Amino acid sequence: MMDYRVKAKELLEEFEKINSGNTKLKLELQKKLEKLSQFSDKKYFETIANDVSKVLKNADLIVKAIDFIENNGAFSFDGELMGTPKGDYISVFLKHQDSFSDEEYWEKLAYVYIMQDFAHVPYEVYKNIFSSNRSNREKLMNDEDIKFLDNLPETITIYRGGAVNEKRTGFGISWTLSKDIAQQFVDRKKVLSNDQMEVLELTIKKSKVVAYFSERNEEEIIYLGE
């Protein structure tokens, strides 16, 4: 029978050969692998050790495999994001949202929204998750973005590169403080859509802004309407 502690050592030695280029990640993964060697059930460890050894050359797969093991055959939110196309991040968020604390809800929503980028998500979905009555909504933003938003005047003009028919069907949630950036989105969407595009403009009260994001250098305003 396999000596599970010897196998754990072999896994760690093999892991040491991996040059991930990210020391922090490497240390985190090493701690997770070391944790595997502490299981009291040798047969259980023998099984998972073999599984882990198959994916040692891919850091994301290591974390995902161990995450699956540690959560008794289910992926955590972070584990499931690994290997999931960015366009599907919101779906993963929706699946796990009930397990989040209020602070985690807003922090993770901001992360998946920013990372999801240009993927199409129905307005109703975005409106529902961004209008949640959970507390600590300020956790959507980092400290710099909170300060920037606080310093804006009480009435602001926002722009959106969108379809002309949005005036009739309803606007999306993503706006910008920059007319030039909105025009860039018009040009971008003209390539992807047959709809007539233009720069849309609204003047709103700052109190109606859900969040300001500078992460993508788009001076982005999240606005859900009146």
Torsion of Cα atoms, 68 then 137 then 162 then 151, to 10°: -140
Residue 200 near residue 159, CB atoms below 8 Å? yes
Euclidean distance between CA atoms 34 and 9, whole angstroms: 8
Mean pLDDT per 10-residue interval, the chain, length 226 residues: 55 57 59 58 59 55 60 69 82 92 95 81 89 95 96 97 85 94 90 85 96 94 90
Euclidean distance between CA atoms 165 and 151, whole angstroms: 33
Determine which helix (DSSP H) or strand (DSSP E) holds 155, and give its type and residue range: strand 155-163
Euclidean distance between CA atoms 117 and 115, whole angstroms: 5
Residue 111 near residue 97, CB atoms below 8 Å? no
